[in-house]
Structures are given as C-alpha cells and as structure tokens.
C-alpha cells in the first residue's frame, strides 16, 4: 500500500516509518471517504487485516448499521400496492450483493428451525410441536404456525402482488432498470478483485473467532412492526456474540490490486446510491 500511496503524492518528500504509516492511512482513507460519502443507506467502514502464515493483507468492509432498513414510501405511502411490491422485490433480490442484509424468506426459514424443527407447512409444524415440544390439541390453537406468520406480511411484501415492468410508471421503471444495471456491473467483477465479495471461509481465515458470531446479517428488510417477536428471537445470538457484519473481504497480494479494489468499491457505492434513490422516490410525482 506504501507504493500505491507514494504514486499519489504531488511532490516527493521524505518520511520516517511512523510518518509514512500515518500518511498512507490518510491517503487511503481520503480515497475511500470520497467514494462512500454520497450515500447514507448504511454506515460502512473499512479495516485492513494482516494476513497470517504468508497470507496477503486484506481489506474488509464492515457494516456498523443494525436493524430494519428504512424502506421509505414502499412501507409508509398510499401508492398502489403493485408499485410498492415491485420496488420491495427488487431490493430484496439485489441488496444482498453489497450489504449484509436478510429478507423475509431468510427469517421464515430461521423461525421454522426455531419453532417447527424445519417444517414449513401447518401440518408438519403441528406434528413437530406435538412430537418434539409436548404440545397437545389445546396448545396448538395458541401456537404460531407457518400460515399465520405468512398472513402477517403486508401486501407490498408479497412478490405475486408486484406489477410487471410495463405496468409501472416511467420514473419507477427507470429506477428499477438502473438498479438492475448497477447490480449486473457488480456481478461482472472477478471475485478476487471485488471489494464486496463475501466468502465465509475467507472471513474465518482472516478474522479469528468470527465463527462464534451469528450467521445472521445485522440488517433486515423485514418490517419490525409486523415481525418484532420473530426478529428478536433470531437476533438474540447476534446481539450477544455479534452479527455477520462483513459486507466484503478482499485480499490484496500486491499494490496493483488497490486500484481494482477502489474501482469495485465505487461500483458498489453507485449501486447503493441507486437503491437509496429508489427508497427516497416520491410516489406522488411518478
């Protein structure tokens, strides 16, 4: 990283080792902040990880935000359900390529393991409650079941309610297309040159003890108003031991990779700006 920072100095200057380290950090931090400053969808920070046993150093993107993401008009407006469902579905399908975030299906599967031993239909869940939890017929009437959990979803969370692209207003359709294009640009990156690539084995390699953390991301697209008890249940381990809060980890075997890393970081930031614009749309002006 020293060679990378030196190439960006406007005038040659001699540094002590301590001064050089500070200067490298300043140059790198300024480059990162310049890329991340335009959006506030999530609070992200970078940390440089020292490789062990001959491993290259790596840069990790860490998400310090936690809880339900602000969904703006998608959750709170009186816009047509079909528009809101289309926007929500697009975010649910794409945000995970950059942010550590989970959606409703992830929550449902976790709850199925917690309450019903993995069963996802009412009949199987009832039998699980009887066989493994000692419930009787009277108890079953008060127990949550997959169908009752699904029934609590607002209409805008249900993919089947989403309008097709041709049925959407022009402004929303253009924004969704921009989100798709930004995601496709990220997906085209090679994993080893992608700041947002998240390989759990690589994380365990560079962050000792991380396997003790929850596998659950810290962010969710699931509304707390409807699913607070379930979110509390699945989030308990993360609150105690930490969440899977790394958005990306990229080893840097040489200084030439730093520019690649910054390029991919910029692509991710552009994606987040588009996602933020989607959430901040005014549906009355579409």
Q: Which residues lie across from 248 on neighbouring strands?
A: 61
Gap between the Cα atoms of 158 and 104, Å rounded? 10
pLDDT for 68 equals: 98
The mean pLDDT value for 99-111 works out to: 97
Gap between the Cα atoms of 260 and 105, Å rounded? 34
Gap between the Cα atoms of 75 and 281, Å rounded? 12
Does the structure show a pLDDT above 70 at 5?
A: no
Contact 199, 191 (CB under 8 A): yes
Q: What is the dihedral of CA 259, 263, 269, 273, to 10 degrees?
A: 140
Q: Which residue has the tokens 């947002």?
A: 196
Where along the chain do its domains lie?
Answer: 24-103+157-285
Q: Which residues lie across from 250 on neighbouring strands?
A: 59
The mean pLDDT value for 40-59 works out to: 89
DSSP 184-223: HHHHTS-GGG-TT---HHHHHHHSTTGGGS-SS-SEE-S-
pLDDT for 8 equals: 56
Gap between the Cα atoms of 84 and 283, Å rounded? 9
CA atoms within 13 A on the CB side of 42: 30
The mean pLDDT value for 52-59 works out to: 86
Strand, coil or helix: what is 84?
A: helix
Nearest to 63 by CA among 238, 194, 247, 202: 247
Does the structure show a pLDDT above 90 at 131?
A: no
At 223-265, the pLDDT tens digits run: 999 999 999 999 999 999 999 999 999 999 987 888 899 999 9
Kind of pairing, strands 58-63 and 246-251?
antiparallel
Nearest to 208 by CA among 51, 54, 76, 95: 51
**Structure tokens given for 225:** 């108003």
Cβ atoms within 10 Å, residue 66 = 16
Q: In the predicted model, what is the mean pLDDT of the chain?
A: 91
Does the structure show a pLDDT above 80 at 139?
A: no
Does the structure show a pLDDT above 80 at 114?
A: yes
The model carries a pTM of 0.90
Does the structure show a pLDDT above 60 at 78?
A: yes
Long-range contacts of 104-107 (CB under 8 A, 24+ apart): 104/153, 104/157, 104/221, 104/222, 106/216, 107/220, 107/222, 107/227, 107/230, 107/231, 107/234
């Amino acid at each position: 990283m020293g060679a990378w920072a030196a190439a960006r100095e406007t005038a040659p200057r001699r540094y002590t080792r301590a001064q050089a380290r500070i200067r490298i950090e300043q140059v790198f931090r300024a480059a990162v902040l310049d890329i991340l400053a335009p959006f506030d969808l999530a609070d992200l920070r970078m940390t440089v990880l020292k490789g062990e046993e001959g491993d290259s150093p790596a840069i990790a993107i860490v998400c310090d935000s936690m809880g339900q993401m602000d969904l703006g008009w998608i959750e709170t407006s009186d816009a047509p359900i079909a528009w809101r469902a289309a926007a929500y579905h697009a975010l649910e399908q794409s945000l995970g390529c950059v942010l550590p975030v989970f959606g409703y299906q992830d929550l449902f599967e976790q709850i199925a393991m917690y309450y019903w031993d993995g069963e996802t239909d009412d009949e199987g869940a009832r039998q699980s409650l009887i066989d493994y939890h000692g419930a009787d017929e009277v108890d079953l009437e008060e127990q949550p079941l997959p169908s009752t959990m699904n029934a609590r979803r607002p209409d805008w969370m249900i993919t089947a309610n989403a309008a097709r692209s041709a049925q959407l207003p022009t402004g929303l359709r253009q924004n969704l297309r921009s989100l798709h294009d930004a995601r496709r640009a990220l997906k085209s990156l090679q994993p080893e040159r992608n700041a947002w690539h998240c390989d759990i084995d690589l994380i365990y390699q560079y962050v000792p003890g991380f396997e003790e953390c929850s596998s659950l991301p810290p962010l969710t697209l699931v509304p707390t108003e409807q699913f607070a008890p379930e979110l509390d249940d699945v989030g308990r381990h993360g609150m105690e031991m930490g969440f899977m809060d790394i958005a990306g980890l990229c080893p840097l075997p040489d200084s030439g990779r730093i520019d690649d890393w910054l390029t991919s970081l910029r692509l991710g930031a552009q994606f987040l700006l588009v996602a933020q614009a989607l959430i901040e749309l005014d549906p009355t002006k579409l």
